Amino acid sequence: MALKIIEDCIACGACEPECPNSAISEGQDIYIIDLGHCTECFGFYATQQCADVCPVESCVQDDEHAETREDLVAKFQDLYPGRALENTDKWNAPVL
């Protein structure tokens, strides 16, 4: 599933440049994640980069937008046609 940013966000901006999909942007009060571009870092990294850098643990799983591993593969391939997946074997998010 995609990640979301919760209201505890202090708008420090640390997560934005870490996202391989440019899915994070500054919102009105807190930063926001574009569901259509968040692959949970699947295809790039073994861990979710925004969650790794957030100092207040505000990047969390969005339970209302569950996606299977197959969904994430399809999303990655839609975003990057023909591009090889990286680090997918070490990917540590739960596989639904």
Please answer whether residues 31 and 24 qualify as being in contact, where contact means their C-beta atoms are separated by less than 8 angstroms. yes
**Which of 1, 39, 62, 75: binder of ligand SF4 (CB under 6 A)?**
39
Binding status of residue 56 toward ligand SF4 by CB under 6 A: yes
Backbone angles phi, psi at 54, to 5 degrees: -65, 125
**What token pair was written down for 83?**
């591009």
Please answer whether residues 49 and 15 qualify as being in contact, where contact means their C-beta atoms are separated by less than 8 angstroms. yes
Distance CA 1, CA 60 (A): 10
Query: Smallest distance, Å, CB 47 to ligand SF4?
Result: 9
Displacement of CA 91 from its chain's centroid (Å): 12
**Which of 1, 3, 62, 75: binder of ligand SF4 (CB under 6 A)?**
3
Binding status of residue 12 toward ligand SF4 by CB under 6 A: yes
Which one of 14-22, 60-68, 75-83, 84-92 is the stretch in contact with ligand SF4 (CB under 6 A)?
14-22
Residues that bind ligand SF4 (CB under 6 A): 3, 5, 9-15, 18-19, 21, 23-24, 30-31, 33, 38-41, 48-50, 53-54, 56, 58-59
